[in-house]
Amino acid sequence: MALSDKDNGCTGGEGGESDAIVNTCVLDGFSESREIRAIISTLPQVHGDTLQSESTIQRFLVIMNRYLEQPNLLDPHLEWMLSMLLEFVRSDTSPPSLVHLGFKYLYIICKVRGYKIFMQLLPHEVADVHPVLDLLSRQDPNDTETWETRFMLLLWLSMTCLIPFDLYRLDGDLEADSGKARESTMDRILAIAKAYLLVKDSPRDAASVLISKFMTRPDVKQKCLGDFLDWSLSTISETDDQSMKGIMVLDGALQSLAKLFKHGKREDLLQYAPTIQQCLEKKRLSESSQATLRKLGVKMIQRLGLTFLKPRLAAWRYQRGSRSLAANLSMAQSAAVTAAVTPDVETQEQEEDYDIPEEVETVIENLLAGLKDKETIVRWSAAKGIGRVTGRLPKELADEVVGSVLDCLSFQETDNAWHGGCLALAELGRRGLLLPSRLADVVPLIIKSLTYEEKRGACSVGANVRDAACYVCWSFARAYEPKELEPFVSQISSALLIANVFDRNVNCRRAASAAFQENVGRQGTFPHGIDILTEADYYAVGNLNKCYMSISVYVASFPEYTKDMIDHLIAMKINHWDSAIRELSAKALHNLTPQAPEYMAATVLPQLLPMAVGFDLQGRHGAILACAEIMHALYKLGLQTNRIVVDMISPECVDALKNIHQALHDRKQYRGFGGELMRPAMFSLIEKLSLSKMPFKNEPVIAGWQSLIDDTIKTLHFISSGAKDGIMTAAVQALSALCEEHYQAEPGKADTQMQDVLVSQYIEGLKSPQMLTRCGSALALGCLPKFMIHGKLTQILEGLQQMCTVSQKKGDFTEARRDAVKAISQVCAKVGVSAHSSPDSFLCSENVAEVYGTLLHSMNDYTTDSRGDVGAWVREAAMTSLMDVTFLVAGSAPEILSPDLVKCTMCCLAQQAAEKIDRYRAHAGNILLRLLHSTDPAVPHIPHKEELLSIFPAETLISLNWNAPSQAYKYITQLLRLPQYQHHTLLGLTVSVGGITESTVHFSSQWLFDYLRVIQRDNAALSEFGDSLLSVFRDNLKNDRVSTPFLKMLNQMLANSCFEIFTTQENHPFCVDVLTLCKESKRAKDVSKLQACISVFCGLIQFQGEVRKKVLSQLLMLLCHPFPVIRKSTASQMYEMLLFYDDVIDPEVLDDVTTLLSDTNWESDLATVRPHRNQLCDLLGVSRPQVVAKVTT
């Protein structure tokens, strides 16, 4: 546990509170006191058992850690916890393990409550000194298991040092019987403290506390203070800070000195201060590579500075008066306080008239250098030091210090200096040392700090500076009267709201929110403060999208903030290094345009257009996006006022917008990495300008835009993988808007030349060898407006259907098939349905079957590659497209929707809803329910609709979680009793029951067997189920995706005696057919399939008749399979089978057969195992298999 000083303040909000912290903040008491008492009382029983003691410690830790945020709740209970634990520690009968365990618990409590509070409760009578000292002397400083004991003993010894008696009174007669003198108590304590200052673990921190308490005693400082300081300085001088041990030693020595100078009296330490300062300067701790040592060096320097200066409260400091809000509301008390704090002029002059030691200048120089350190802890310590030292300086010197701090906030300095400077200003302001006369210099720098950001490579630095600037604003709110800050309210409020809404870092947004709230409450002069806080509170600003898209609009609705927010987006966010921020900024400008349309059109747009063709890539990208969004927003506003967008902006802006593409093209800025940003930005501009109905029709720029879209679709494979999808989507959206606005010869009629060119071009692109070109072409066809498809529907559908069919057979171009399936439904939605119209222009009775055929065929796409089941992408798209097309047809011309099409659709969805992948099962299940329960339009010809509605009532639309196997299979297995769904449902269940995912296998098999138990005695139903089972097996005999899990599922069914009713009949057809199909599967080379086949053979042995001999024959043939693992597995399973089914063979030969199966090494070569196999054939009465010689041609 670190014993660092508690900091008085914070650097703004700490973002991202976890739920645990939020929960602890609502605790109202120590509710587990009874359990804690029980745990402590069991220590004598558990201390010897490592497992039990660790378990109780862990439980104790869990409980206590809940109170880390509210440790004060423990205060009423600390005394009884301490007394219970000290009882074990003090007892002479307690074994060492119990003592150490007691100290572990004490340390946990101390860590949670804080050592400064907890150590005050430790007993500190005279009688406690020697027992604690003796117990500490017996400890091994190198024992890593008991460091908590040493830590707590050192703290306890620190408290016992506070007894108000000279320590020599505790010594008695120091002459021992042997004549050898004993050490005095003072020497013993000092020796222990020195020893523990040099250890490498946490007791070193407690030893520094001991030094601070021990050395400040009147009797000790007279005898030992000088010697101890000499020892400390020699230790510091002689120790090397390059080794780990040296770092630990320096840490201990510096900690002890810092605490000693904190608690010691100035008159005792002043004489040693110059020597210590010289030693530290020679050591050059500021150049150390260890941040901890640099921090301790800064801490030590500030303590020396406070020692050099007389302790006093600067009379010149600014005093606001009462810090209580209630007191500030009371005018009478305010007047009294104001009178009380007005300094007496004569007293002030007397206090100013004293000399400042020369060493103070060095102290301040070191502290100012510490403000620029690369570590936050060092800068924070230096800032506090600046505040403390400045409070003891005369007014003129203090003003010089303030000037030096302000120098840190210049653009020649690094982000570290800016951060340190902000922290120092906050400390100065909080202490009243930053006079109101300086605010005119300070506030502009703080405003810059609130937006400080320096780009470094692919990212930026400055979040800590902005966070610290928020802390400055927070401290100013508490430090100054409203009249002092009134001239700066407009600047500070705007800057804080901008950081509150637009900062990329959540910590900074929350820090700004906290600072704004503090100013609203303390100052009361921030415009619309309460209203804004209601909308943009600490938690609301946690979501970046919400900040940019909605909160910014609300804040900008107040005129005081509108232009400042827009200007900030243009100046700082449009050219931000993070593309997500640039995109959000452009959307935010779109939303803010209604608040200031004239300003956007007359001022912002002319600023952005030069940036859009500038040389800075990020600025160019953001500016183009912003231009697009602003133009579209102006167009929407124009619709409300019956104005066209070209009347709202200048002709120069119109020409500049038109020329952006040509400028980028001429500079070849669509190529390379920059092109990955420029292309989607330009597509956004094309889309928005087209939607805004810019008058560019038949101008050369339209051909340029079209060539950019076409070139992108053809060259997508040259673009990096991360940007491909975004660029493709943007290109397709731009194409759709471009066609809608510029390719109509007259309303509703296409420009035939462009129609022919584009349709033929994209259909040809469906045959490209490049997968992404196929994807882009398919999506382009899907996005064409209705007038562009009119007369070309047959041609487009044939191209899409051909690509789906041909590429699925070859197993390639999976993503292209997915996009083609999406395009089919999009094209159908665009053209609409007309039952008896031309198939070239509408979805009608002549082409609806072909569309459904393609989509249903895509539902059986199970293509796999190195990425896994990529065919699932196609199936998912096909399911969505089927739903869209079905609703479309059912709503317009349900008569062309034949019963067969609806049946195939529902059956395929039932199959997908029974399969193993959660995402696609859920997608299929939800679509199935939507089709079933839809009433507007109602889907006709759904098979077994009444039964389906009873299985899936209306509430399952919301309540049923298809992603959860425990819920989904309970419903889907009920479809097995519906004849038209049985085959497809069973096909889907096969891959789930025979799969490898534990939860899916468990729940799917559980509900399947529940169904089988219901029909187990119903011969007709079981026969029908068996026929469906055989049909699935027969249809997928060569398909390992289905046949392997099918064999696993069938094995489970046989093992659970699901077909027991068939076993009473000799040579039942079901068993004969299964055996025939399994004989075909036995020829496979896949080990898992062969092992599943063996299991099925062993299960089939329960059937009566001649089939049993055939099963045994197959198993005996597998005993000589070429794969040793198969031979071994067959023997093992045969052994178990013969023991389980004891009526299979003659009991007289059972022992011989089982012995032969178990004792033979079936992994030996075939020549060795074949005689054993033949011997088994003779014992079982099965003819020996004959080796068939291979025929060579």
Per-residue pLDDT reduced to its tens digit, 44-57: 998 888 899 999 99
Q: Mean pLDDT across the stretch 594-604?
A: 94
Burial label, 835 (beta-carbon count in 10 A; 0-12, 13-18, 19+): middle
Q: Which tens digits make up the pLDDT trace of 683-698?
A: 999 999 999 999 888 8
Q: CA torsion sign, 257 to 260 to 266 to 272?
A: negative
749: which strand partners?
746
pLDDT of the residue at 722? 81
Q: Mean pLDDT across the stretch 388-407?
A: 93
Residues 975 and 926 sit within 8 Å (Cβ to Cβ)? no
Beta strand 459-461 pairing with 454-456: antiparallel
pLDDT of the residue at 915? 94
In the predicted model, is pLDDT for residue 1066 greater than 90? no
Structure tokens, 725: 């999808």
Residues 199 and 144 sit within 8 Å (Cβ to Cβ)? no
SS (H, E, C) 717-751: HHCCHHHHHHHHHHHHHHHHHHHHHHCEEECCEEC
Q: Which tens digits make up the pLDDT trace of 984-1040?
A: 999 999 999 999 999 999 999 999 999 999 998 888 999 999 999 999 999 998 899
pLDDT of the residue at 347? 44
Structure tokens, 1145: 């063979």
d(CA 24, CA 27): 5
Q: Mean pLDDT across the stretch 581-592?
A: 96
In the predicted model, is pLDDT for residue 342 greater than 50? no
Nearest to 411 by CA among 439, 451, 467: 451
In the predicted model, is pLDDT for residue 980 greater than 70? yes
Q: Is the peptide bond before 839 cis (omega within 30 degrees of 0)?
A: no
Structure tokens, 186: 């003072």
Higher pLDDT, residue 345 or 260: 260
In the predicted model, is pLDDT for residue 2 greater than 50? no
Q: Mean pLDDT across the stretch 103-112?
A: 94
Residues 840 and 792 sit within 8 Å (Cβ to Cβ)? yes
Q: Which helix (H) or strand (E) holds 1025?
A: helix 1019-1035
Which amino acid does the sequence have at 1017?
R
In the predicted model, is pLDDT for residue 62 greater than 70? yes
pLDDT of the residue at 85? 93
Q: Mean pLDDT across the stretch 172-194?
A: 74
The three-class DSSP label of residue 865 is strand
- Give the model's confidence band at 918: pLDDT under 50 very low, under 70 low, under 90 confident, else very high: very high
pLDDT of the residue at 341? 44
Residues 475 and 429 sit within 8 Å (Cβ to Cβ)? yes
User: What average pLDDT is seen over the chain?
Assistant: 89
d(CA 492, CA 858): 61
d(CA 402, CA 399): 5
pLDDT of the residue at 1150? 85
Which amino acid does the sequence have at 371?
L
In the predicted model, is pLDDT for residue 452 greater than 70? yes
Which amino acid does the sequence have at 464?
N
Residue linked to tokens 């498809």: 789
pLDDT of the residue at 175? 58
Q: Which helix (H) or strand (E) holds 456?
A: strand 454-456
d(CA 398, CA 314): 10
Structure tokens, 105: 């618990």
Residues 1160 and 1119 sit within 8 Å (Cβ to Cβ)? no
Q: How far is CA 553 from the centre of its chain?
A: 28
Lowest mean pLDDT among 18-32, 91-105, 235-249, 423-437: 18-32
